[in-house]
Structure 1
Amino acid sequence: MLRIGILGCGRIGQVHASSIQQISRAKLIAVADASVSAAEAGAQRFGVEVRSVADILTASDIDAVVIATSTATHFDMIHAASASRKAIFCEKPIDLSSERVRICIDEIERSGVPFMTAFNQRFDPHFAALRERVVNGEIGNVETVCITSRDPAPPPVSYIEGSGGLFRDMMIHDLDMARFVLGEEPAQVFAVGSNLVDPSIGAAGDVDTAAVILTTPNGRVCQITNSRRSTYGYDKRLEVHGSKGMLRVSNVLENLVESAGNAGFERARAQPFFLERFGAAYLAEMMHFVDAVTSGSKPTPDAQDGLRAQMIADAATTSWREGRPIPIED
């Protein structure tokens, strides 16, 4: 039985708490949050104790922590959990600075604690099935990858200001997915971005509409498009083209009912947001973490995966600002 404490009782912390309580080999012991009311609400919802962050990080009755707090707090919490020899499940990004991520990796390797970066989309059953078929050679050598991500509406500007920007916040999932299916590390990125959705996002120094082209040493190409607006629901699609064919994951719709009449064919909207679209993925990633820690195997994606995605996001941000292709550091 893996005994777990949750650090952060916001939206994503509650998602992880719900997942833990569905896993027979795990037990949620306590929650903590900088907001007393949020911590108490989370504790009441999940029937557990409220403790301070420090108490959870040092508790003898807790084996692992889920870090679901704001990004700026991750660095210190990782070090504290590592010093207490607790397994760590950390929301992306590990930190907004690649150099600080490297410092975290050094600490994790020194202590030997299990560490998992929460790139939940790898665990989506549709994406995972596509990737397995790519790895098994069904479409031959991968040549191009196309990823589309569009949120129904932008987050508050207060969130944008501390997020690190679209490339490090929203697109980082797509950058990890590109690595997951390309079969080799991207070597160069070219990024463009605009403000077409909300002028206040531009005033905060970010973009709400963006695209990148990633290229690998062997010439494979990945195109990613992001938007903070989608009028038809959460738009999430993945296509991989290879020398023998193509594999595609289309949008998951609210239902599969299709009607036909004089106006033509009609289908349902895409699911409303990422929480609905990736509900199964959130549970699957937590199950993987629990299984890995309890069996003594290494969880994946790990801190190095978090660093690689962050480095590509950093390069994409620089490319957007400078208007030129940027090589991705080895």
Structure 2
Amino acid sequence: MKTIKIGIIGAGRIGRVHAENIAKFVPEMEIKTIADPYMSEETVEFLRRLRIPNIVKDADVILNDPEIKAVVVCSPTDLHAEYAIKVAEAGKDVFVEKPVDYRIDRVKEVIAAAKKAGVKLQVGFNRRFDHNHRAVYEAIRAGKVGKVNLVKISSRDPEPPTIDYVKVSGGIFYDMMVHDFDMARFLAGSEVTEVFAYGAVLVDPAIGEAGDVDTAVVSLKFANGAMGVIDNSRKAVYGYDQRVEVFGSEGAVMDENDTPNNATYYGADGTSSSPCYKIMWDRYTMAFAAEQRAFAEAVINGTETQVTGEDGLAPILIAAAATKSMKEGRPVKISEIEG
């Protein structure tokens, strides 16, 4: 089995998730170095348990290492594009977490940098690799639902993020629903052409005071004639709620929430079953691993990545259209955003 040496830039929450999943489940990758300027002692201890040989603060150590062929960018969001461009210019293949950037022009700069350098670029939309969502996708591609007419997605977090995060997140459409915009395109097999968004503050008034909404519904029109609807909430008291449904001319396919087990208890007082996962990292553990394995295979085999730079751009265009729609109370065409 061929392997590649990689570096990881960023050892925060998502950086640690990727480091652990790669170390445990992706033998095609060997993590040589992880860099973070704010590396804490607790994080260092965690990474040492994963047997990562080089734990540093300066990302240039990774960029200047000829042995490292690919880099996973897990920096804070406002540095995603900067590091992705630096990695590409260093001649290394790039995996960059979503969103690449909130600014459309900046995302295009990353795409252009990767193409100019002739390196691979994959964007971290991990839900495409989830076993449930993937089964829905495969059924659609196999023609089991016929012509796709409707795509429905529910995505609800168990707890809202901190207000400090809300203030810098770009808003619910950029940091949360962006996953669902990608999934809608993925399942419909078509590009979104028009968006109508509603939003409200129904969970925490502080989120509204920070300039965002915590509950949103977005309607979509696709180029192939299909329609879609996505609902998001920052707080579902029962856990991490992730479901999709696709309805077509020949049937429908849908998935339900993953749970730690599917056992159901029956007793005199009623029935009970395992609750939903409470956090994303547990719900999507194997999806995170699968997307890294797909990236490694693209690098090793010289093939196109499964989530391209253009796939990273499209949800940002949709998010911009949704934001404009909610503010102006009208449908917004993607062509308005593209200019």
Question: What interval of TM-score do these two structures reach, taking the shorter chain for normalisation?
Answer: over 0.9
Q: How many corresponding residue pairs?
A: 330
Structure 1 residue 244, shift from structure 2 partner: 1.1
Which digits, 9 at most, give the CA deviation of each residue in 1:200-229, with x for residues without a partner?
A: 111111111001000123431111000010
* Pairs within 5 Å for 1:60-99: 60-99=66-105
Q: Does 1:105 align with 2:127?
A: no
SS in 1 for 2:288: helix
Cα distance in 2 between the residues matched to 1:67 and 1:113: 14
Which digits, 9 at most, give the CA deviation of each residue in 1:143-180, with x for residues without a partner?
A: 10110011000011111111111100000010000000
Partner of 1:40: 44
Q: Does 1:139 align with 2:142?
A: no
Which digits, 9 at most, give the CA deviation of each residue in 1:90-126, with x for residues without a partner?
A: 0000011011111111111111111100100000111
* 2:143 aligned partner, one-letter code: G
Structure 1 residue 308, shift from structure 2 partner: 0.5
Q: Does 1:173 align with 2:175?
A: no
Cα distance in 2 between the residues matched to 1:153 and 1:301: 28
TM-score under structure 1 length normalisation: 0.97
Structure 1 residue 43, shift from structure 2 partner: 3.4
SS in 2 for 1:174: helix
Partner of 2:259: 253
Cα distance in 1 between the residues matched to 2:279 and 2:21: 18
SS in 1 for 2:278: coil
* 1:35 aligned partner, one-letter code: Y
* Preserved CA contact (<8 Å) 1:9 1:42: no
TM-score under structure 2 length normalisation: 0.94
State which of 292, 295, 304 in structure 1 corresponds to 2:301: 295
Structure 1 residue 270, shift from structure 2 partner: 0.9
Structure 1 residue 326, shift from structure 2 partner: 0.4
Partner of 2:323: 317
Cα distance in 2 between the residues matched to 1:13 and 1:45: 15
Partner of 2:192: 186
Cα distance in 1 between the residues matched to 2:231 and 2:214: 11
Cα distance in 2 between the residues matched to 1:12 and 1:218: 35
Cα distance in 1 between the residues matched to 2:63 and 2:168: 25
Superposition RMSD on alpha carbons, in Å? 1.4
Q: Structure 1 unaligned runs (5+)? A: none
Structure 1 residue 10, shift from structure 2 partner: 1.2
SS in 1 for 2:60: helix
Partner of 2:314: 308
Cα distance in 2 between the residues matched to 1:173 and 1:318: 18
State which of 263, 270, 274 in structure 1 corresponds to 2:276: 270
* 1:40 aligned partner, one-letter code: V
Partner of 2:54: 49
Which digits, 9 at most, give the CA deviation of each residue in 1:204-259, with x for residues without a partner?
A: 11111001000123431111000010111111100011111110100112321212
Cα distance in 2 between the residues matched to 1:228 and 1:36: 29
Cα distance in 1 between the residues matched to 2:196 and 2:45: 44
Which digits, 9 at most, give the CA deviation of each residue in 1:24-75, with x for residues without a partner?
A: 2211001111213165345323222122112112212211111001111112
* 1:62 aligned partner, one-letter code: I
Q: Structure 2 unaligned runs (5+)? A: none
Structure 1 residue 302, shift from structure 2 partner: 0.8
Decide whether aligned partners of structure 1 residues 133 and 203 sit closer, same or farther in structure 2, where only a CA change above 3 A counts: same
Percent identity between matched residues is: 40
SS in 2 for 1:187: strand
* Preserved CA contact (<8 Å) 1:142 1:242: yes
